């Protein structure tokens, strides 16, 4: 089945609201001009991740106070009483080549950053940092000063800073290098107390043109002099360097044509000679541009960077071991990054800052403009990136990007009310489309969601063509000092959850979360903008983000929101065939794939039949593959602002049927994937040690099935009563269970299932005994028509004599009388959920 792309915009009419102004954080001030609260560039990262080689894992650490890329990184001690700190110096925080001189220090022991440190006189990015005798040296780089229209010039400037001086210290100007250069690498040899400036380039995006250099110079801090040494065997800009065993190793880098280099060479400090390594084992597995690098345990770790065709950053980590002259591939970073910094403290590798894309050509993007003071009109000037458009009422930028831009599309966001217009310059880094490989894994979930600060938040990441062994990681989650990340992602199910805290009535705050999907040797990446609101008047969608559509069956979905407002204007385009919006807040109809409705060609993109590995939110109790029929985003707005949330439609990849012994009239058919709270199979027997039969129906004939396993829930019982049985047409699998205790969860795992079109049903969780019960938590303790109604809504299909058989008195409607009759016929009280 093709994949539907559904856009669903929901707007709430405003009610009169009174606002309480708080001087420290005034999110809504009457008669004040809007202030846009989006970061200037979500693709500039404040991420700080630590790699622990003992267990080969990455952990999120306190983010940098200033998101940036291309900064210099050095290690020094602020005092003898404290351990080493990581200093991030300069860099850039916008794509217009404006540079920074900001200095911030990270304490790994305290997991805390220090700001307000003394700044170097010259603003620079792509400079190199190194330390000798606790003195930090900042060498070379690019400065925009004096060049308002270019990203240059490259400089030979050298400045030094005593880390022990802290905020009271000053940067001293030292003798400049003999050769001005950017993307130079700095190696510090503590044994000889010398610095080595290696490689680089004498051009940038400005003038002169980019030229990689083989140049090597040595700095003596005692004499404040630079000495030219033998050139490298190959010119390299931004090589990864390290001093190990009396030699300086230069690995990778890029040449004058921006081609990533995969070779290694070393400089013998004693002989002054360079040697190029020529064995196949010495070739870097993943040549890259603009990585971070550091020495850990006598090995050079090359971290992140970008593909040599500039199609986008990468997350891979290659490790060079000089003792064997060979490479290994380590655990990749949780997300892609280029122009990042890397440093090692106490045998832990830290990767800080960098850049990552906010969207990819050919993949749906949704971005929310956030602002204070009740904007009534939003815009992106002069225009959003090609393929994207602006909803001026809701402040939503959405669409499918069509053009790749490695340096970002500059856009001015505006938010207007009666008092004036707020403006902010941002940029969107659009990565190139991945190679059109059949069955390529991808992340297809929405790229935008809004949550209420102080309330539990969940978001389901959806993937396509991924196997059950695939793992999801994320970086850039909201981080609380002393606590850590306030959100986490389940690497198997892809469920993001947690509670984010913000000061009361503070402005909306956006976070750029980078997502990575790894399946074997293949990776896919996506971007997620999470916005959290503390203002209780701001609307937040509360209806479920997932719904199951069964072809030919009635579907109903109710939209709900947490806001002091009533539903008003809606803009819904388009919905799956057969569905329509019914005011005030319902989507309903009979799903008819291939049927009439809005132009089907506009709803279904050309794509092969694919399978979505990740389930909807019911993943907590059900983990089942489903055919994705669409992803979209709901937006819900009032006069305060706009809340967004994903809305994902699914078709079941299989249908279950529980055959209940002699009580045939009460057989049940329902999807094995549904909304949160939807159970799998109802048990009406009311006792333990019973036999059950579960039938899984597939859309096409099975190619493989190697068996099944059954795992009862805590305190329960149940086992297979024989191997699974495949029907003659190979479209059904019957699993017989015995000794099943009532009101429990049973996990049935079908092994190596494939139906020829990659419908891999790798796990199914069946909930026994909760489909029909006292589902409404009203304390009544009884089953009534409200419970039946909720069940119908949750399952997303009609409850009538053709499936649930609940209209047992055949009067054309389902009421409490039908439930009572069922209870009487079965001779027991229906179990609660």
Helix axes 785-795, 816-826, angle to 10 degrees: 90
pLDDT computed for residue 235 by the predictor: 96
- For residue 518, report the phi and psi dihedrals to the nearest 5 degrees: -120, 125
Question: What is the chain's length?
Answer: 833
- For residue 803, report the phi and psi dihedrals to the nearest 5 degrees: -135, -65
Segment 577-598 shows an average pLDDT of 70
pLDDT computed for residue 423 by the predictor: 93
The CATH architecture annotation of domain 48-352 reads 6 Propeller (2.120)
Question: What's the N-to-C CA distance of the chain in angstroms?
Answer: 34
Fold for 653-771, please state it.
Immunoglobulin-like (2.60.40)
Residue 381 has pLDDT above 70, yes or no: yes
Give the residue range(s) of CATH 2.60.40 domains in the chain.
653-771
pLDDT computed for residue 718 by the predictor: 76
Residue with the bigger pLDDT between 517 and 695: it is: 517
pLDDT tens digits, 27-52:
455 568 988 888 877 778 899 999 99
pLDDT computed for residue 567 by the predictor: 40
pLDDT computed for residue 581 by the predictor: 77
pLDDT computed for residue 547 by the predictor: 66
pLDDT computed for residue 622 by the predictor: 20
Residue with the bigger pLDDT between 195 and 771: it is: 195
Where do we find the tokens 């799903």?
A: 591
Residue 253 has pLDDT above 70, yes or no: yes
pLDDT computed for residue 445 by the predictor: 82
Residue 644 has pLDDT above 80, yes or no: no
Q: Indicate the average pLDDT of the chain.
A: 74
pLDDT computed for residue 294 by the predictor: 97
- Residue percentage of the chain with pLDDT more than 90: 35
Residue 636: pLDDT band with limits 50, 70, 90: very low
Segment 493-510 shows an average pLDDT of 86
Q: Which of 81-90, 115-124, 771-780, 812-821 is the least confident region?
A: 771-780
Residue with the bigger pLDDT between 628 and 438: it is: 438
428-437, 543-552, 683-692, 796-805 — which one is most confidently predicted on average?
428-437
C-alpha–C-alpha distance, residues 126 and 113, integer Å: 22
Residue with the bigger pLDDT between 29 and 100: it is: 100
pLDDT computed for residue 406 by the predictor: 75
Residue 726 has pLDDT above 60, yes or no: yes
On the 0-12 / 13-18 / 19+ scale of CB atoms within 10 A, 133 is exposed
Residue 189: pLDDT band with limits 50, 70, 90: very high
pLDDT computed for residue 300 by the predictor: 98
C-alpha–C-alpha distance, residues 431 and 749, integer Å: 38
Residue 682 has pLDDT above 80, yes or no: no
Residue 543 has pLDDT above 80, yes or no: no
pLDDT tens digits, 453-469:
999 998 888 887 777 67
User: Of 464, 525, 471, nearest to 493 (Cα)?
Assistant: 471
Residue 215 has pLDDT above 90, yes or no: yes
pLDDT computed for residue 701 by the predictor: 72
Residue 803 has pLDDT above 90, yes or no: no
49-63, 92-106, 218-232 — which one is most confidently predicted on average?
218-232
pLDDT computed for residue 3 by the predictor: 24
Residue 750 has pLDDT above 80, yes or no: no
pLDDT computed for residue 740 by the predictor: 66
Where do we find the tokens 């694919």?
A: 610
Residue 804: pLDDT band with limits 50, 70, 90: very low
pLDDT computed for residue 310 by the predictor: 73
pLDDT tens digits, 387-427:
999 989 888 888 889 998 877 888 999 999 999 999 998 88
Residue 810 has pLDDT above 70, yes or no: no
Which helix (DSSP H) or strand (DSSP E) does residue 388 occupy?
Answer: strand 388-391
pLDDT computed for residue 780 by the predictor: 46
pLDDT computed for residue 391 by the predictor: 86
Q: What is the 3-state secondary structure (H, E, C) of 174-217?
A: ECCCCCCCECCEEEEECCCCEEEEECCECCCCCCCCCCECCCEE
Residue 204 has pLDDT above 70, yes or no: no
pLDDT computed for residue 715 by the predictor: 67
Residue 247 has pLDDT above 60, yes or no: yes
Segment 47-61 shows an average pLDDT of 93
- 3-state secondary structure (DSSP) of residue 462: coil
Segment 225-233 shows an average pLDDT of 98
Give the residue range(s) of CATH 2.120.10.80 domains in the chain.
48-352
pLDDT computed for residue 566 by the predictor: 45
Q: Which of 103-117, 528-542, 729-743 is the least confident region?
A: 729-743
pLDDT computed for residue 721 by the predictor: 78
Query: 759-786: b or e for each residue (b if 16 or more CB lie within 10 Å)?
Result: bbbbbbbbbbbbbbbbbeeeeeebbbee
Residue 382 has pLDDT above 70, yes or no: yes
User: Of 150, 157, 258, 261, nearest to 208 (Cα)?
Assistant: 150
pLDDT computed for residue 31 by the predictor: 64
Segment 52-76 shows an average pLDDT of 94
């Amino acid at each position: 089945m093709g994949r539907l792309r559904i856009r669903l915009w929901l707007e709430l009419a405003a009610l009169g609201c009174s606002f309480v102004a708080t001087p420290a954080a005034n999110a809504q001030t009457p008669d004040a001009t809007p202030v846009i609260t989006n970061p200037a560039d979500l693709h500039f990262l404040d991420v700080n991740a630590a790699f622990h080689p003992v267990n080969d894992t990455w952990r999120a650490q306190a983010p940098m106070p200033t998101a940036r890329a291309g900064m210099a990184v050095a290690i020094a001690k602020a005092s003898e009483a404290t351990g080493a700190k990581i200093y991030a110096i300069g860099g850039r925080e916008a794509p217009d080549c404006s540079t920074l001189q900001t200095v911030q220090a990270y304490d790994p022991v305290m997991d805390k950053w220090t700001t307000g440190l003394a700044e170097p006189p010259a603003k620079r990015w792509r400079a190199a940092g190194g330390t000798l005798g606790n003195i930090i040296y900042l060498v070379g780089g690019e400065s925009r000063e004096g060049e308002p229209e270019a990203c240059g010039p490259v400089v030979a400037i050298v400045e030094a800073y005593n880390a022990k001086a802290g905020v009271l210290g000053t940067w001293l100007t030292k003798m400049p290098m003999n050769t001005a250069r950017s993307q130079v690498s700095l190696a510090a040899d503590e044994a000889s107390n010398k610095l080595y400036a290696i490689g680089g380039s004498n051009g940038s995006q400005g003038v002169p043109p980019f030229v990689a250099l083989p140049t090597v110079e040595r700095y003596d801090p005692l004499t404040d002099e630079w000495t030219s040494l033998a050139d490298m065997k190959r010119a390299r800009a931004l090589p990864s360097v390290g001093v190990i065993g009396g030699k300086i190793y230069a690995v990778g880098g890029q040449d004058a044509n921006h081609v990533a280099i995969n070779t290694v060479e070393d400089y013998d400090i004693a002989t002054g000679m360079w040697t190029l390594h020529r064995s196949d084992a010495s070739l870097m597995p993943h040549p890259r541009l603009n990585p971070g690098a550091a020495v850990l345990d006598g090995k050079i770790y090359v971290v992140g960077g970008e593909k040599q065709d500039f199609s986008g950053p990468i997350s891979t980590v290659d490790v060079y071991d000089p003792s064997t002259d060979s490479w290994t591939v380590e655990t990749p970073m949780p997300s892609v990054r280029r122009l990042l910094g890397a440093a090692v403290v106490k045998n832990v590798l830290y990767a800080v800052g960098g850049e990552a894309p906010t969207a990819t050509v050919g993949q749906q993007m949704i971005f929310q403009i956030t602002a204070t003071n009740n904007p009534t009109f939003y815009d992106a000037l002069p225009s959003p990136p090609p393929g994207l458009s602006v909803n001026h009422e809701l402040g939503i930028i959405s669409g499918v990007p069509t053009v790749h831009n490695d340096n970002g599309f500059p856009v001015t966001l505006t938010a207007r009310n009666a008092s004036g217009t707020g403006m902010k310059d941002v940029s969107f880094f659009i990565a190139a489309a991945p190679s059109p490989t059949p069955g390529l894994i991808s992340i297809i979930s929405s790229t935008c969601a809004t949550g209420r600060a102080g309330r539990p938040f969940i978001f389901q990441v959806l993937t396509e063509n991924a196997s059950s062994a695939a793992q999801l990681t994320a970086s850039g989650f909201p981080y609380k000092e002393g606590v850590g990340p306030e959100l986490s992602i389940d690497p198997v199910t892809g469920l993001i959850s947690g509670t984010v805290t913000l000061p009361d009535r503070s402005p909306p705050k956006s976070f750029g979360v980078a997502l990575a999907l790894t399946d074997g040797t293949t990776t896919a990446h996506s971007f997620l903008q999470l916005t959290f609101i503390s203002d209780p008047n701001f609307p937040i969608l509360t209806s479920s983000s997932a719904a199951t559509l069964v072809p030919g069956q009635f579907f109903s979905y109710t939209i709900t929101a947490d806001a002091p407002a009533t539903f008003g204007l809606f803009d819904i385009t388009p919905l799956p065939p057969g569905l329509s919006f019914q005011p005030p807040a319902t989507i309903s109809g009979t799903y008819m794939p291939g049927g009439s409705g809005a132009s089907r060609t506009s709803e279904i993109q050309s794509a092969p039949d694919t399978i979505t590995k990740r389930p909807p939110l019911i993943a907590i109790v059900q983990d089942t593959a489903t055919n994705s029929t669409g992803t979209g985003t709901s937006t819900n707005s009032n006069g305060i602002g706009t809340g967004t949330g994903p809305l994902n439609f699914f078709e079941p990849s299989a249908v279950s049927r529980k055959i209940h012994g002699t009580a045939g009239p009460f057989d049940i058919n329902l999807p094995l994937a549904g909304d949160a709270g939807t159970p799998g199979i109802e048990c009406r027997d009311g006792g333990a040690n019973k036999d059950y039969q579960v039938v899984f129906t597939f859309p096409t004939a099975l190619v493989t099935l190697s068996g099944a396993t059954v795992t009862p829930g805590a305190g329960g019982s149940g086992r297979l009563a024989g191997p699974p049985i495949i029907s003659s047409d190979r479209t059904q699998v019957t699993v017989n269970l015995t000794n099943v205790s009532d009101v429990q969860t049973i996990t049935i795992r079908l092994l190596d299932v494939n139906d020829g079109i990659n419908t891999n049903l790798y796990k199914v969780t069946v909930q026994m005994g909760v489909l029909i019960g006292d589902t409404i938590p009203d304390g009544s303790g009884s089953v009534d028509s409200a419970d039946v109604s909720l069940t119908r809504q949750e399952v997303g299909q009609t409850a009538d004599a053709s499936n649930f058989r609940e209209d047992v008195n055949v009067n054309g409607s389902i009421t409490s009388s039908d439930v009572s009759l069922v209870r009487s016929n079965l001779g027991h009280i229906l179990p609660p959920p």
